């Protein structure tokens, strides 16, 4: 008889440059804690860049894995299996058919090599395919140009600007909301993939 308290099973998603494995105990490493405390990684994340411990991260991971709405993956180098980051898809599935993506590549030597884009594409395919979601969103700081660009390359468009939404390095910065609709699903929602000229002004 299956254990009712066991976390939901997730697939492994495999791309050319990255493998997304369901997050497991082997991914809970001092490296993961160090990434969260490293401002170079987390200064544009909603977690603060300090004070994370193995205990606090373990607690967060335990809660995330127990939540059936969370799909939590470790990014692994497909050749070596090395854990280099995480991506999380939080689903508001039952009613809104929507998911929200957040990610980071903790190993900064891997930034700017197309891995973030491929990771987002893999999760979008999973969300629209296996999970049957209609819309994906992700929020990023307006100063996080690498993130915005990665989402754009993964087929997202900037849907909204949230003025002075985040506090970043002692100043307010806008929030950008990126969105993508599932191809071929909910035709009335597809109009959301087109942003009207001027509807989404650039940040100053």
Ligand X SMILES: CC(C)(COP(=O)(O)OP(=O)(O)OC[C@H]1O[C@@H](n2cnc3c(N)ncnc32)[C@H](O)[C@@H]1OP(=O)(O)O)[C@@H](O)C(=O)NCCC(=O)NCCS
Regarding 78 and contact with ligand X (CB under 6 A), the answer is no
Regarding 33 and contact with ligand X (CB under 6 A), the answer is no
CA distance 2 to 106: 34
Regarding 122 and contact with ligand X (CB under 6 A), the answer is no
Regarding 75 and contact with ligand X (CB under 6 A), the answer is no
Looking at beta carbons only, is 22 or 114 nearer to ligand X? 114
39, 66, 145, 199: which one binds ligand X (CB under 6 A) = 145
**Helix and strand element counts for the chain (H, E):** 7, 8
Count of residues for the chain?
Answer: 204
CA distance 97 to 92: 6
Residues binding ligand X: number (CB under 6 A): 20
Q: Which residue is nearest to ligand X (CB)?
A: 116
Regarding 103 and contact with ligand X (CB under 6 A), the answer is yes
Regarding 150 and contact with ligand X (CB under 6 A), the answer is yes
Burial of 128 (0-12, 13-18, 19+ CB in 10 A): buried
CA angle, 99 then 78 then 147, to 5°: 40
CA distance 11 to 58: 22
Using the contact rule CB under 6 A, the part of the chain among 59-67, 69-77, 111-119, 124-132 near ligand X is 111-119
Binding site for ligand X (CB under 6 A): 41, 44-45, 103-105, 111-117, 140, 144-147, 149-150
């Amino acid at each position: 008889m299956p254990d009712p308290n066991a976390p939901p099973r997730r697939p492994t998603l495999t791309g050319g440059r990255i493998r997304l494995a369901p997050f497991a105990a082997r991914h809970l490493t001092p490296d993961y804690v160090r990434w969260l405390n490293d401002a170079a990684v987390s200064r544009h994340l909603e977690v603060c860049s300090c004070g994370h411990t193995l205990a606090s991260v373990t607690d967060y991971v335990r809660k995330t894995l127990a939540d059936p709405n969370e799909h939590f993956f470790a990014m692994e180098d497909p050749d070596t299996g090395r854990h280099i980051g995480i991506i999380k898809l939080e689903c508001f599935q039952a009613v809104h058919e929507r998911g929200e993506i957040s990610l980071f590549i903790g190993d900064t030597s891997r930034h700017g090599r197309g891995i973030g884009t491929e990771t987002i594409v893999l999760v979008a395919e999973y969300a629209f395919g296996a999970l049957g979601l209609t819309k994906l969103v992700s929020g990023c700081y307006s100063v996080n140009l690498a993130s915005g660009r990665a989402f754009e390359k993964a087929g997202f468009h900037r849907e909204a600007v949230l003025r002075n939404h985040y506090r970043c390095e002692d100043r307010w910065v806008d929030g950008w909301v990126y969105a993508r609709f599932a191809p071929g699903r909910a035709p009335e929602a597809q109009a959301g993939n087109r942003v009207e000229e001027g509807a989404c002004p650039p940040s100053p």
